[in-house]
């Protein structure tokens, strides 16, 4: 399905209930598989969460995670530590290009039995679950936080827990802290000192206060509303729920990041109201090593505002659903930007005009579709393969239509 978007007057003051955080949901679904007494509320409606839940409850020998990178990493660790199981985890053609050796090597050092079925270092994997006897592992600190979180999440299953040391510079720290915080919420003791962390073995049972958890709504999904408000006229506002000011999600940095772009964030009763004020935005220079998932949204916002943009800390974007740096360069240049990229950065000068009626390729990447959609406030634009948004935000186009944008499905 392709979607044509055309500018219309934005409805002011609407309230949207955003689905639960995909990041929190997938972590808690895995912990629920270890501690069945856990009850979860506001579970993410995303494809990724559905894949995760299905895989954890399935009896099939072959598990296909499709494009769900988080599920691939988390399930690899889970089944490696599930005694007596034998599964093959596979995925889409793109998933088979996404490296997993770092995690596999770490699990093998703990005693796991894992074999590559096609290309060395990449999925699919044959995993024979067994009791993991190791209790210490070291990883480079600049690897994907999903590798680190996968190990931390299975740590309660290990007889002696896990001591994990990260070497060198750390990236995506908020996602690691999220994992540790969720473990604490269910009663598992954790310690984080410098680059070292420890997770204790699981308690025999959870106390009642640790059993029912409400998942916060997804801040990454909120980013598209930040972009809409940033590109809208002064005074426009929208309210989103359910959000906490002391969020575990790294992307809650949106509130601070978008303030210089004219968007105020007002917290009240587990809701946030985003309101546009008059603003003369300056060039945006940011290191997004802790919040790489909002890079595409920010780049498009800056382009739409006609301001220069220089983003660094983006080294993990090349191994996402697509090479997001190259994809951003391709599509922004079609719209009239002059984009330069390296292995970990993207930048462009201000553009005076935006080319209209451009068809944006989404590369099977949900964030490409949603990041470019807010430009329709300013110009007509076409989003190819628009159904890809179901990976993280199935109701995205319905909400876009409700906010007043002209959404034409074809």
Question: What pLDDT score does 405 carry?
Answer: 83
Question: What pLDDT score does 207 carry?
Answer: 77
100 vs 123: CA distance, rounded Å: 7
128 vs 156: CA distance, rounded Å: 19
114 vs 80: CA distance, rounded Å: 7
- Which residues does the chain have with pLDDT short of 70? none
Question: What pLDDT score does 1 carry?
Answer: 92
Tell me which fold the domain 22-214 belongs to: UDP-n-acetylglucosamine1-carboxyvinyl-transferase; Chain (3.65.10)
358-398: pLDDT as tens digits: 999 999 999 999 999 999 999 999 999 999 999 999 999 99
Going by C-alpha positions, the residue among 57, 79, 84, 176 that lies closest to residue 124 is 79
Q: What are the C-alpha distances in Å from 298 to residues 284, 305, 309, 371?
A: 9, 10, 9, 8
**Catalytic-residue membership of 293:** yes
Contact (CB, 8 A) for 103 and 76 = yes
pTM of the model as a whole:
0.88
Going by C-alpha positions, the residue among 295, 34, 17, 392 that lies closest to residue 182 is 34
CATH top class, domain 3-19+217-409? alpha beta
Q: Binding site residues, as ranges? A: 22-23, 27, 69, 98, 144-146, 172, 293, 320, 324, 367, 391
Question: What pLDDT score does 133 carry?
Answer: 94
Q: Binding site residues for phosphoenolpyruvate, as ranges? A: 22, 69, 98, 146, 324, 367, 391
Question: What pLDDT score does 279 carry?
Answer: 94
Question: What pLDDT score does 132 carry?
Answer: 96
Say if strands 284-287 and 309-312 run parallel, antiparallel, or are unpaired: parallel
Contact (CB, 8 A) for 98 and 60 = no
Question: What pLDDT score does 171 carry?
Answer: 76
293, 323, 365, 399: the active-site residue:
293
As annotated, the residues of the chain forming the CATH 3.65.10.10 domain(s) are: 3-19+217-409, 22-214
Question: What pLDDT score does 269 carry?
Answer: 92
């Amino acid at each position: 399905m392709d979607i044509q978007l055309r500018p219309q007057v934005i409805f002011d003051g609407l309230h949207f209930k955003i689905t639960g955080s995909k990041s929190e949901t997938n972590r808690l679904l895995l912990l629920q598989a270890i501690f069945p007494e856990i009850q979860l509320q506001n579970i993410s409606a995303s494809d990724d969460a559905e894949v995760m839940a299905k895989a954890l409850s399935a009896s099939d020998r072959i598990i296909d995670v499709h494009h769900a990178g988080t599920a691939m990493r988390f399930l690899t660790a889970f089944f490696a530590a599930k005694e007596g199981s034998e599964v093959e985890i596979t995925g889409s053609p793109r998933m088979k290009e996404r490296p997993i050796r770092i995690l596999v090597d770490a699990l093998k050092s703990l005693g796991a039995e894992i074999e590559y079925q096609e290309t060395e270092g990449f999925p699919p994997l044959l995993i024979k679950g067994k009791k993991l006897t190791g209790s210490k592992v070291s990883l480079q600190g600049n690897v994907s936080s999903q590798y680190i979180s996968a190990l931390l999440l299975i740590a309660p299953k290990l007889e002696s827990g896990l001591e994990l040391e990260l070497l060198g510079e750390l990236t995506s720290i908020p996602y690691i802290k999220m994992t540790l915080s969720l473990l604490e919420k269910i009663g598992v003791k954790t310690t984080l000192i410098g680059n070292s962390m420890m997770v204790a073995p699981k308690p025999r049972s959870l106390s009642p206060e640790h059993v029912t958890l409400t998942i916060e709504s997804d801040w990454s999904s909120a980013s598209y509303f930040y972009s809409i408000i940033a590109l809208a006229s002064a005074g426009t506002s929208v309210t989103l729920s359910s959000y906490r000011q002391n969020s575990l999600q790294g992307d809650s940095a949106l509130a601070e990041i978008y303030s210089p772009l004219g968007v105020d964030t007002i917290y009240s009763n587990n809701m946030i109201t985003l309101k546009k004020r008059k603003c003369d935005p300056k060039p945006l220079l940011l290191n997004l090593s802790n919040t790489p998932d909002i890079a595409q949204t920010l780049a498009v916002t800056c382009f739409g505002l006609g301001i220069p943009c220089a983003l660094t800390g983006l080294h993990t974007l090349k191994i996402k659903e697509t090479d997001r740096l190259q994809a951003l360069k391709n599509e922004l240049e079609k719209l009239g930007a002059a984009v330069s990229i390296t292995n970990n950065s993207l930048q462009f000068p201000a553009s005076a005009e935006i080319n209209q009626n451009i068809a944006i390729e989404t590369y099977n990447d949900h964030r490409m579709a949603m990041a470019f959609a807010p430009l329709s406030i300013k110009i007509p634009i076409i989003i190819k393969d628009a159904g890809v948004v179901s990976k993280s935000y199935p109701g995205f186009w319905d909400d876009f239509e409700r906010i007043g944008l002209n959404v034409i499905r074809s």
